[in-house]
């Protein structure tokens, strides 16, 4: 019973911090709360674990958008390069996540704004990485075409 009240109290503090930052959160069923910043959709993932704050950017790249190797290469590039942001495959779509442990004495508006900025930077990094991966794949494809035409001569 005490633990349920503690969870609600931390969730209330988090919700108040989002409101203080000017975000209008929209309930997304049991999943969490959606909000937008600079044209990017985010989700505050509310759960029963009051020790962690989770924010994500959903669906940055879908498996059907290209070959499976691009999907895997992009996830690996994000996870091996970025320090705070992690990419996960949710229903054949890459989502960016930032999870932070809460100790209880944080300046939540400051923490949330930094998390959002890190996620935004992670999204920009991901877009650049996608472009590089696709460019390299096209270059390799052109090289293969040249080799094939040389073999025919």
Phi, psi values for residue 26, rounded to 5°:
-115, 125
| Interval 4-56: pLDDT, tens | 555 457 888 999 999 999 999 999 988 899 999 999 999 999 877 778 999 99
6 phi and psi angles, rounded to 5 deg: -60, -45
Beta-carbon count within 10 A of 134 CB: 15
Count of CB atoms situated within 10 Å of the CB of 75: 18
7, 14 contact by CB (below 8 A): no
Could you read off the pLDDT of 10-19 as tens digits, one per residue?
888 999 999 9
What predicted TM-score, i.e. pTM, was given to this entire model? 0.83
């Amino acid at each position: 019973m005490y633990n349920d009240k503690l969870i609600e109290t931390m969730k209330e503090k988090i919700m108040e911090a989002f409101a203080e930052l000017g975000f209008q959160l929209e309930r997304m069923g049991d999943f969490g709360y959606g909000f937008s910043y600079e044209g990017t959709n985010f989700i505050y993932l509310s759960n029963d674990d009051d020790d962690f704050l989770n924010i994500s950017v959903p669906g940055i790249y879908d498996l059907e958008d290209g070959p499976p190797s691009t999907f895997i290469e992009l996830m690996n590039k994000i996870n091996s390069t970025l320090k705070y942001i992690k990419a996960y495959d949710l229903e054949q779509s890459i989502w960016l996540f930032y999870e932070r442990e809460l100790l209880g004495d944080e300046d939540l508006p400051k923490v949330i704004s930094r998390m959002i900025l890190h996620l935004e930077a992670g999204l920009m990094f991901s877009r650049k990485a996608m472009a590089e991966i696709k460019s390299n794949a096209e270059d390799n494809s052109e090289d293969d075409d040249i080799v094939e035409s040389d073999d025919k001569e």
